[in-house]
Amino acid sequence: MPTSVHGIHHVTAIAGDPQVNLDFYVGVLGLRLVKKSVNQDVPDTYHLFYADEAGTPGTDLTFFPWPALPPVTLGVGFAVEVPFTIPAGSLGYWQDRLAKRGVATRPVETRFGETVLPFSDPHGLALAFVESSAGLAITPWAKSNVPAEHQARGMHSVRLWERKLANTAVLLTRVMGFEKVGEEDGWHRYGVDGGGPGRWIDLKDQANAPQGEWGVGGVHHVAWRVNDPTEELLVRRALIDVGLQPTPPIDRFWFQSVYFREPGGCLFELATDGPGFDRDEDMARLGEKLVLAPWLEAQRPEIEKSLQPLTMPAKESAA
């Protein structure tokens, strides 16, 4: 393919109360808060980044806490679930852990030959754990409440509802480097770079569903990995050539971003793998303090006054 992305870089969702969000993703799911920052376009709002110990691209689920918004309207042109990869044999551990912490799970499913445990976060975001012997090469977080052998291995896939999935399929296969790899129960799976956890996207035609609307418990956008700014520009040029309207590259300090709407309406992002979250913090201290992009530092006093103080969840005495 002349252009390609290389899998999921991160998924960004909308949360309610930020402390509840922090307690769940760090305290219950055992992810590391690798960056406590703000939405660079709406800087009176947190932007919280959860990932493995090193903030490896593909392990990162991020949140804009906007508790005043209504709940999400799931519909076409939206990502409707965020599945994580967990190691093969870890499903029982997670069923027990979630049950003990009052997290309701839905019946176990089999999808494309893999065992899946669906559940939701406290604000209604649809999540799932997918058992797989494959997965991203992650750095387990040594201080997690979850033992290293059971920690999530990053994003497994994203699942989108579409009114006409064929239009999005053309974008994926002709511009972004994906190939169709299977079809099951109305879901059409596409993989990039050979497929596998972190490199899947599933599409489903839902012609009678409403148009999705952002809200608490919904996905805001899906970011796809590109190696560097040069490759990002090549993919951006290809998007323009098929009639889409990507933004110019935007410096997010820890990576560079280009945003565009796929034909069904879901907001996609191209994000570079670097420079990385340790650009402005020591790796051992990621997420411990409010970090602002350099161009926001002059606004720090006003920004800090607008943000709710957050307290890191206590370390459990036993995992």
Q: What percentage of the chain exceeds 70 in pLDDT?
A: 99
Higher pLDDT, residue 135 or 130: 130
Q: What whole-number distance in Å separates Cα of residue 4 and Cα of residue 246? A: 15
pLDDT band at 135 (very low <50, low <70, confident <90, very high): confident
172-181 tens-digit pLDDT: 999 999 999 9
* CATH tag, 8-306: 3.10.180.10
The mean-pLDDT minimum among 32-41, 286-295, 310-319 falls in: 310-319
Span 128-140, mean pLDDT? 91
pLDDT of res. 1: 47
Are the C-beta atoms of residues 223 and 12 closer than 8 Å to each other? yes
Are the C-beta atoms of residues 33 and 26 closer than 8 Å to each other? yes
184-197 tens-digit pLDDT: 999 999 999 999 99
Which among 82, 112, 59, 2 is positioned nearest to 266, based on CA atoms? Answer: 82
Contacts by residues 292-301 (CB-CB < 8 Å, ≥ 24 positions apart): 292/37, 292/38, 292/43, 293/37, 293/40, 293/251, 293/252, 293/253, 294/253, 296/38, 296/40, 296/43, 299/43
* C-alpha torsion 12→18→21→22, nearest 10: 100
pLDDT band at 315 (very low <50, low <70, confident <90, very high): confident
233-271 tens-digit pLDDT: 999 999 999 999 999 999 999 999 999 999 999 999 999
Does residue 317 have a pLDDT over 90? no
Q: What whole-number distance in Å separates Cα of residue 79 and Cα of residue 126? A: 10
Does residue 319 have a pLDDT over 90? no
Span 274-283, mean pLDDT? 96
How many separate helices (H) and strands (E) can be counted in the chain?
A: 5, 16
Span 80-99, mean pLDDT? 97
Q: What percentage of the chain exceeds 90 in pLDDT?
A: 95
Beta 8-15 vs 219-226: how paired, if at all?
antiparallel
Q: 295: burial class by Cβ within 10 Å (0-12, 13-18, 19+)?
A: exposed
pLDDT band at 318 (very low <50, low <70, confident <90, very high): low
Lookup: tokens for 48: 């919280």
Span 291-302, mean pLDDT? 98
pLDDT of res. 2: 62
**CA angle in degrees (0–180, nearest 5) for 238-62-199:** 45
Question: Most distant CA pair in the chain: distance in Å?
Answer: 56
Are the C-beta atoms of residues 115 and 100 closer than 8 Å to each other? no
Average pLDDT value over all residues in the chain: 96
Residue boundaries of the structural domains of the chain = 8-306
